[in-house]
Amino acid sequence: WTLDNWSQNPVIDRILRVDHAGEFGANRIYAGQMAVLGRSSVGPLIQQMWNQEKDHLKKFNELMVAYRVRPTVLLPFWNVAGFVLGAGSALLGKKGAMACTVAVEESISEHYNNQIRTLIEEDPEKYKELLQVIKQFRDDEQEHHDIGLEHDAEAAPAYSVLKTAIQLGCKVAIFLSERI
């Protein structure tokens, strides 16, 4: 038993806590979309993206333990909110689900880019593994974003309003999950 990995760094605590919460929320969003659209033509595509999110969450679960970071107290709320967002967007149809994916993944990609910059400023050698993980996950999220656009996200009803509202929700979720 050692404390070698123990972060003792509020920046790392904050990054791991919010990323764990984000991947948890993403899993719940895809679960909600699958509950509504799982048997439709877009079901396999949603499942494919969800499977990647499951891998992301598994990795952040491991990192939370390795760095001894507590999860956000808001996980029970994100559990419900994520599912409701996923199912709600899917009730608008395939385009609604894809609009949700584009909005969320764009927010997350931007968020991961900010974290990459922070870690490079902190100590790129010390946080090499974490940087690799975040860069890989950012690339995956960007791919999901692009898949959403390719599948008519922008043709969703009230796309810009929907996107703006979801991205505002993401910003609030990120702000809160970093802190509590």
Ordered domains of the chain (ranges, CATH): 10-178 (1.20.1260)
In whole angstroms, give the CA distance from residue 21 to residue 105: 14
106 annotated to a ligand binding site: no
Q: What is the DSSP code (8-state) at residue 123?
A: -
The residue among 32, 35, 54, 34 whose CA lies nearest residue 45 is 34
121 annotated as a binding-site residue: no
pLDDT in tens, the chain (180 residues): 344 555 578 999 999 999 999 999 999 999 999 999 999 999 999 999 999 999 999 999 999 999 999 999 999 999 999 999 999 999 999 999 999 999 999 999 999 999 999 999 999 999 999 999 999 999 999 999 999 999 999 999 999 999 999 999 999 999 999 999
Residue 145 labelled as part of a binding site:
no
Q: Is 111 annotated as a binding residue?
A: no
User: Is the C-alpha dihedral spanning 100, 101, 102, 104 positive or negative?
Assistant: positive
As a dihedral over the C-alpha atoms of residue 40, residue 44, residue 45, residue 50, rounded to 10 degrees, the angle is 110
**Predicted model pTM:** 0.93
Does 62 count as an annotated binding residue?
no
- CA-to-CA dists, residue 23 to 45, 75, 84, angstroms: 18, 11, 16
| Residue 53, annotated as binding a ligand | yes
